[in-house]
Amino acid sequence: MKVTKIRWMRIEGLDEHGFGGQSRSTGVLIVRVDTDEGLYGLGEVQDFLGVRDAIDNIREILTGADPLAIQPFVTAMLYGRMPHNNFPISHTMSPTATAVGPIVWAVSGVEMALCDLAGKAFNTPVYNLLGGKYRDRILIYADRSCPHDIANLEEWRELACAARDDGFRVIKFDLDVTAFDHTEDEWNRAIPLRQLNKIVQRLTAVREAVGWDVELTVDGHMHYDVRDSIRLANALADLKLMWLEDPTPIVNPDALARVRDKSPIAICAGEMFITEQFRLFVDRGALDIVHPDVLFSGGLHETKKIADYADQHYIPLALHNNGGALATIAAAHVAAASRNFLGLECHFLGSKFLEDFIDRGIPLFDNGHVRLTNKPGLGLELNVDVCKKHMVAGELLV
């Protein structure tokens, strides 16, 4: 079997999730890999700057290649290979000579499509290609960011209780927008006491509204300095938060380890990391929870490596995910096959087109979980009507 075509399309619509609950446009790229035997696979890519060029590059490299050689493809693209007579010299390094950015994001989505294709070729679900399933109900954690009017405590309560009443047992909010009306200096990475007090007040309203059996987490979006990350963690300690996510900028494991040393809340980080970066942060003692994303790590197999490395250190796995339903299902296959799985993020509640552009024959969510089926591959098809309605660029992939 050989790869014959790699195509993509962009679908776009309203994002009801984002900053302050305001509507804005959002979209994803869907990738399809076709073969000379009629089998094809589907993947999803975040449409960040440079990824379309990266997919063009991958098309040149993969056309004519064996689609089942998934790990050699990912390894070559991220880390290169030794010079050899059989290969052009330009392919001995990754296309950007560094395993970060657009090439990793494009590889991640194409790898997702190759996993779907391989599952269909072997007539088995993708979780079986990753070692088999520990579970087939995957706990979803709902990212709710913040309400439209952050100064209105009733809106905080309503947002949290609505997610709880929809069946979600883990709910996340974004610290940086919780009290942005009290930011005093937008550059210095500090949280002034007045702002800290507002963050505590608003999240306390959430905790009191949803009760003490619902897990709550908070995301710092990599904004804060070490001192105020620690002060923030201590101020929020009584709320029994499940984790504090990305309190400091992401590139310094020593700074995050200093926060972790003094934080009464578990530290979770790594949503944009590849395997090498997780190794560095785990080895430095900077993480209580690893938080990879199948869209940014290099794909499903790389994410499984991260999960297993963490598990060897008895560190649990949460899966970051701000993609659409296709990426959510792909991540759910990794969750099924990872012993240390805690929860998988869902970011697009309220943006129905991102839920509806795939069809699995069952609803996406089932009481706060995704239920995996035993269909081959990722177990999904495109919903052509939704894709046609929301398609803005590329080629209709049917």
Nearest residue (CB) to Mg ion, 214 versus 318: 318
Alpha carbons 146 and 207: distance in angstroms, whole number: 14
Q: How far is the CB of 269 from Mg ion (least distance, A)?
A: 8
Is residue 144 a contact partner of residue 19, using CB atoms and an 8 Å limit? no
Report CA-CA distances (Å) from 270 to 121, 233, 247, 349.
32, 18, 11, 23
Among 116, 215, 219, 356, binds Mg ion (CB under 5 A): 219
Q: Does 293 bind Mg ion (CB under 5 A)?
A: no
Q: How far is the CB of 219 from Mg ion (least distance, A)?
A: 4
Nearest residue (CB) to Mg ion, 142 versus 378: 142
Nearest residue (CB) to Mg ion, 228 versus 271: 271
Binding mask 67-106 for Mg ion (x = CB under 5 A): ----------------------------------------
Nearest residue (CB) to Mg ion, 44 versus 271: 271
| End-to-end Cα, the chain, rounded Å | 20
- Count Cβ neighbours within 10 Å for each residue of 81-91 and write b for 16 or more, e otherwise: eeeeeeeeeeb
Q: How far is the CB of 394 from Mg ion (least distance, A)?
A: 28
Size of the site for Mg ion (CB under 5 A): 2
Map the footprint of Mg ion across residues 257-276, applying CB under 5 A: 271
Return the H-helix or E-strand segment holding 138.
strand 137-145
Nearest residue (CB) to Mg ion, 111 versus 219: 219
- Residue number, nearest CB to Mg ion: 219
| φ, ψ at 394 (rounded to 5°) | 100, -145
Look up residue 117 and give its two tokens: 């294709």
Alpha carbons 55 and 46: distance in angstroms, whole number: 12
Q: How far is the CB of 289 from Mg ion (least distance, A)?
A: 12
Query: Could you list the residues that contact Mg ion (CB under 5 A)?
Result: 219, 271
